[in-house]
Amino acid sequence: MRPLSLAVVETGSANLASVLAAFGRLGVAAVPTRDADIVRNADRVVLPGVGAFGDVMQRLSARGLTEVLSERFAAMRPILAVCLGLQVLARASEEAPGVAGLGVVSGTVRRFPASSKVPQLGWNRVEPDPSSVVVSGGHAFFANSYYLESVDDGWTAAWATHDVRFVAAIERGPQLACQFHPELSGPWGASLLERWYASC
Amino acid sequence: MLARRVIPCLDTRDGRVVKGVRFKGLRDAGSPVELADRYQRDGADELVILDVSATTDERSHALTTIREVRRILAIPLTVGGGVRSAADAGALLDAGADKVAVNTAAFYSPELIEVLARQFGQQCVVLSVDAAEANGAWRVVVRAGSEGTTRDAVAWAAEGESRGAGEILLTSVDRDGTQSGYDLRLVTAVSTRVGVPVVASGGARSGHDLLAAVRAGADAVLAASIFHDGIASIAQVKATLRDAGIEVRP
């Protein structure tokens, strides 16, 4: 079987319709799957994520996807992680103490302070570090209660502020992880998806 | 810092957009896909679709409408109307909604909010509160504005938040469709009581009304008639907000 050009990982609770529609508007056929072999072999993978850290890690593990995803990151193969998809790259999250994330990055995922409006629901300004290639500055749509606080060497970050400054996105070559939803971020988000897809 | 959101609302019935006054006297206002596309091009930050179908037959068109709108829509989509169960919500999300709004069913079975928040995440669950003023307080109104209750609307919004609603869509039944301005006291009462975002709805006539609602504490402002009828465009009302120093998405 020919590898898929773009596989979208079914994480269970995630709503995939918006991601599939966004790539459809770019003329790209994105195929949802939960099959570890298909995810391993696909040219590009999208790891979406809506719901809870613990649930998603449990489902990824049950489907044999944690190793496949970790290997893909280690091998620098193309992948786009969205929202909770970014958070599960961390070692751990305050949302699910004791549950191990993929550990691709070393930072911890924290909850926004109690004094903030939580969830952060709306459009916030994304400010990329100067060495960013794929992420540009603009307004992005966020829907999150937790955030990644720091960035490892080897990744380039973009930042946003919701009372605290947090990681809006990290990129390294064909690998991009966004706390915001590019598929819901209007023309700015569409151009980001297009650049990521073309960069792989 | 979060930009304040401007949200056009499409009330749909039998696959068409309709609009009434105080939830009554519905008239045709166009095609959902055409309006959704026009509004997103004009700078809408989000779209709300509330299905006001009266019969199961009419409601059967709702999922088709959601699928068609999703295909063209690159901004968040909230859908409500007749959501009674996790299965109803799941069907709307599969069809392309990003958030689901619950109203009457959640009022009579508040545990529905918890079920949805657990299954789909808090950011996915919008509690729609329709409120009517009576003697200086606000009472919850259900069944599309047709059935009054004795429940305090501010207290109900707070209970909804504690049960897991990630946003409150707050509509003044008294102002809906009247273009007499938002009920600003209601907006302030709810937004100071809850920690989740509050969307003000009901009564917008101009960009200045939207500005007043933001100043009263709204995180987002929803309007229908003024956009459908061309009284003001989304770009115009966002310019009014921007000129007043409110951050909006360009």
The distance of A116 to chain B (nearest Cα, Å) reads: 8
The string of pLDDT tens digits covering residues A97-150 is 999 999 999 988 999 998 898 999 999 999 999 999 999 999 999 999 999 999
Residues 6+ apart with CB under 8 A from B96: A17, A18, A21, B66, B67, B69, B70, B71, B73, B77
Catalytic residue check, B42: no
DSSP single-letter state for residue A17: H
- Side-chain-side CA neighbours of B28 within 13 Å: the count stands at 5
* Yes or no, beta carbons of B93 and A144 under 8 Å apart: no
The two tokens of residue A90 are 């961390």
Q: Which B residues 127-156 touch A at CB under 8 Å?
A: none
Q: What is the pLDDT of residue B26?
A: 73
* Yes or no, beta carbons of A17 and B70 under 8 Å apart: yes
The two tokens of residue A135 are 């992420």
Q: Which phi and psi angles does A38 have, rounded to 5°? A: -65, -40
Contact B203, B175 (CB under 8 A): yes
**What is the spatial distance between Cα B222 and Cα B168, in angstroms, rounded to a whole number?**
12
The distance of A75 to chain B (nearest Cα, Å) reads: 32
Contact A62, A35 (CB under 8 A): no
Instruction: Return mean pLDDT, chain A.
Output: 94
DSSP single-letter state for residue A9: E
Q: Return the C-alpha torsion angle A91, A97, A18, B197, nearest 10.
A: -130
Which among A24, A117, A187 has CB closest to B196? A117
**What is the spatial distance between Cα A31 and Cα A42, in angstroms, rounded to a whole number?**
10
Domain limits, chain A: 6-199
The distance of A72 to chain B (nearest Cα, Å) reads: 27
The string of pLDDT tens digits covering residues A152-174 is 999 999 999 999 999 999 999 99
The two tokens of residue B145 are 């504005």
Domain limits, chain B: 5-243
Run of H or E including A197: helix A186-199
| ipTM of this complex | 0.94
The distance of A184 to chain B (nearest Cα, Å) reads: 4
Q: What is the pLDDT of residue A13?
A: 60
Q: Is A14 a residue whose pLDDT tops 90?
A: no
Question: Mean pLDDT throughout B88-98?
Answer: 93
- CATH architecture assigned to B5-243: Alpha-Beta Barrel (3.20)
Q: Of the listed B11, B14, B51, B183, which one is catalytic?
A: B11
Poorest-pLDDT segment among A79-93, B25-39, B185-199: B25-39
Pick from A10, A15, A112, A191 the residue to mutate for testing the B interface (most B CBs within 10 Å): A15
Amino acid at B125: V
Residues 6+ apart with CB under 8 A from A47: A9, A11, A69, A79, A80, A81, A82, A85, A88
Instruction: Return mean pLDDT, chain B.
Output: 93
Catalytic residue check, A200: no
Q: Of the listed A83, A162, A171, A178, which one is catalytic?
A: A83
Q: Of the listed A162, A171, A178, A181, which one is catalytic?
A: A181
Q: Is B21 a residue whose pLDDT tops 70?
A: no
The two tokens of residue A92 are 């751990």
3-state helix, strand, coil in chain A (%, to 5): 30, 30, 40
DSSP single-letter state for residue A131: T
Q: How confident is the model at residue B184 (pLDDT cuts 50, 70, 90)?
A: very high
Catalytic residue check, A83: yes
Q: Does A63 touch chain B (CB under 8 A)?
A: no
Contact A176, A134 (CB under 8 A): yes
Which among B45, B71, B123 has CB closest to A143? B123
Question: Mean pLDDT throughout B38-43?
Answer: 97
Which among A25, A50, A120 has CB closest to B2? A120
Q: Which phi and psi angles does A68 have, rounded to 5°? A: -60, -45
**What is the spatial distance between Cα A168 and Cα A180, in angstroms, rounded to a whole number?**
7
Q: How confident is the model at residue A25 (pLDDT cuts 50, 70, 90)?
A: very high
Q: Does A117 touch chain B (CB under 8 A)?
A: yes
Q: How confident is the model at residue B59 (pLDDT cuts 50, 70, 90)?
A: confident
Per-residue three-class SS string for chain B? CCCCEEEEEEEEECCEEEEEECCEEEEEEECHHHHHHHHHHCCCCCEEEEECCCCHHHHCCHHHHHHHHHHHCCCCEEEECCCCCHHHHHHHHHHCCCEEEECHHHHHCCHHHHHHHHHHCHHHEEEEEEEEEECCEEEEEECCCCEEEEEEHHHHHHHHHHHCCCEEEEEECCCCCCCCCCCHHHHHHHHHHCCCCEEEECCCCCHHHHHHHHHCCCCEEEECHHHHCCCCCHHHHHHHHHHCCCCCCC
Per-residue burial over B75-113, b = 16 or more CB atoms within 10 Å of its CB, e = otherwise: bbbbbbbbbeeeebbbbbbebbbbbbbbbbbbbeebebb
- Tell how strand B77-80 and strand B47-51 pair up: parallel
List the beta bridge partners of residue B148.
B141
Alpha-carbon B104 to chain mean position: 14
Q: Of the listed B51, B130, B183, B219, which one is catalytic?
A: B130
Q: What is the pLDDT of residue B205?
A: 92
DSSP assignment of A69-119, as one string? HHHHHHTT--EEEETHHHHTTSSEETTSTT-----SS--EEEEPPTTS-SS
Q: What is the pLDDT of residue B203?
A: 93
Nearest CA-CA partner of B222 in B236, B235, B203: B203
Q: How confident is the model at residue B23 (pLDDT cuts 50, 70, 90)?
A: low
Positive or negative, the CA dihedral B93, B99, B102, B106 is positive
- The third-level CATH classification (topology) of the domain covering A6-199 is Rossmann fold (3.40.50)
Which residue carries 């166009």 as its tokens? B30
Residue B244: CB atoms within 10 A of its CB come to 15
